[in-house]
Amino acid sequence: MTAESTIDRARLASYQEQLTEWRRDFHRHPELAFEEVRTSGLVADRLREFGLEPETGIGGTGVVAVIESGSSERSIGLRADMDALPIHEQNAFDHKSTCDGKMHACGHDGHTSMLLGAARYLSETRDFDGRVVLIFQPAEEKDGGAREMIRDGLFDRFSIDQVYGMHNLPGTAVGEFALCSGPMMAAIDTFEARVVGIGGHAAFPHGCKDGIVAAAQIVSAWQSIVARNVDPIESAVISTTMIHAGDAFNVLPAVIELGGCVRTFDPNVQDLIQTRLREIGEALCAAHDLTFEFEYNRYYPATVNSAAEVERSARAVSQMGMTVDTEMSPIMGSEDFSFMLQERPGAFVMTGNGPSSGLHTPLYDFNDALLSVGTEYWVTLVQQELASVG
């Protein structure tokens, strides 16, 4: 059963200055994956100020707090990510990064602040019946902080029936939301390969086993996998992003190192690409009398929204009087919230950041106008899903 939103917008509006201060403070002090000591400490302190009892150190630097109201056993999990990226910020505003080579270039400073805003509102009003689990997650950008929180007992220690995540989307207007049922963001896998031959003087290649020629052929041939092995109806991307070899103009290197990533939605396509990458590398190296070494890492699975929770997310946005596209085209970017969606039904939603620079760019900044929108979405979703029954 659901109820109409009873959001106190005047109360939310009164938070804006504080939310902006928090967000800009996080932006000034970015911390990379599993280094979010200051960030998680501030999150925990603020949760305590709201009268909550946060648990810290979950999955490394994660923080979880529970807000209870009424007598219902129903529960909902809300997740925000906290980590920054290893990018040199090029912005000149006052709240730019003070940490050289580190930057909140994906908006996690805003995501954290919005969930703190929801924590404050929900702890002050308790206008719901059930349990809200606030999840402040480390290391989304690298090494799977969601997975580590799960391994540390997130879903065993805290009762969570359904789980939701949210991410800002540059280029989309503030107040517009988008998501879809099923796969919404791609799985990402990484690969590393070594072509091993015999190095030597570049003037005498016949006395060497040249891996450069073979490596160039391998990289080119790998591009045929999507074009000729993957069903054209499916989506996949293979990107070789690293090639390392040689230190001199007149020396053929003994080892060429290759690396890159694979994006897919379907596990069968994932399996196919992993197999073909290895087979092609081995075959071309054999043709050149070289050795091929290969490692493939399943990094993040696809982000797959459950249909019922997509409808619930969309209903909450509609209650806010804002627009939502429930048929968003899936994107090839990846998100470790996927691990949580493997454990519980839920939905991941995009919300407009306005005409900002793109994510993961040195001129990006989170739009502070989005802070109240995101906070209201979280509160509306809680009121909807944990409405009093009677």
User: Could you report the per-residue pLDDT of 227-276, keeping only the tens digit for each?
Assistant: 999 999 999 999 999 999 999 999 999 999 999 999 999 999 999 999 99
Output the domain CATH number for residue 179: 3.40.630.10
Contacting residues for 390 by C-beta, under 8 A, at least 6 apart: none
Q: Is residue 363 part of a domain?
A: yes
HSE-CB of 156 using CA atoms within 13 angstroms: 6
pLDDT in tens, 48-104: 999 999 999 999 999 999 999 999 999 999 999 999 999 999 999 999 999 999 999
Pick the last residue of a domain from 273, 300, 327. Answer: 300
- Can you read off the two tokens belonging to residue 177? 């939301």
Structural domains counted in the chain: 2
Q: How far is CA 90 from CA 103, 159, 359, in A?
A: 10, 42, 14
Q: Cα–Cα distance between 295 and 258 in angstroms, integer?
A: 11
In terms of residue numbers, what domain contains 172? Answer: 9-184+302-385
Shared domain for 167 and 193, answered yes or no, is: no
Question: Where among 300, 333, 355 does a domain terminate?
Answer: 300
Is residue 109 within 8 A of residue 36, CB to CB? The reply is no
Q: Which CATH number covers residue 272?
A: 3.30.70.360
In the chain, how long is the greatest CA-to-CA distance?
87
- Euclidean distance between the first and the last CA atom of the chain, given in angstroms as a whole number: 9
* pLDDT tens per residue across span 11-53: 999 999 999 999 999 999 999 999 999 999 999 999 999 999 9
C-alpha to C-alpha distance for 371 and 247, rounded to whole angstroms: 50
